[in-house]
Amino acid sequence: MMYRHKVQYYETDKMGITHHSNYIRWMEEARIAFLAEKGWSYARLEDEGIISPVVSVDAHYKKTTTFNDDVAIDVCVIDFTGVKLKLGYKMYLEDKLVFEGESMHCFLNKEGRPIRLKSEYPEFYEMLDLEKENK
């Protein structure tokens, strides 16, 4: 899935370069769009009683971006165990790779206890498992 983000002026620093923290935000934007495209918006997840905190983030900055750049963000499922989900992100400015990253997530109920997606939410489990196979 390809998500697009236009770099905003407030996302840049005094040197006119996008501040590094914004790439992590764009990962979240792209992740939300990815899940919504698959039929599992964050609103739906929350309605179902699923929360999915970020467990870890890995970020590699390749080239800079600046105000008004149109960044294309490719999101894919790298790994899914049924308990943890690892997503990969590649960000491009035109045809140049500017960022690569990963985020790891777990799945909890509203009380903060781990969820067994395969038995409790089989439709969501199957979608993520299929995406892992299609990478």
pLDDT digits (tens, 9 = 90+) for 15-32: 999 999 999 999 999 999
Q: How far from the centroid of its chain's Cα atoms is residue 47's Cα?
A: 20
Q: Looking at residue 74, what is its pLDDT?
A: 97
CATH 3.10.129.10 fits 2-133, yes or no: yes
Cβ-contact 75, 30 below 8 angstroms = yes
Average pLDDT of the residues of the chain:
96
Q: Give residue-wise pLDDT tens across range 73-89.
A: 999 999 999 999 999 99
Q: How many angstroms separate the Cα of 7 from the Cα of each of 2, 93, 120? A: 16, 11, 39
The answer on pLDDT for 94 being more than 90 is yes
For the chain, the structural domain boundaries read 2-133
pLDDT at 49: 94
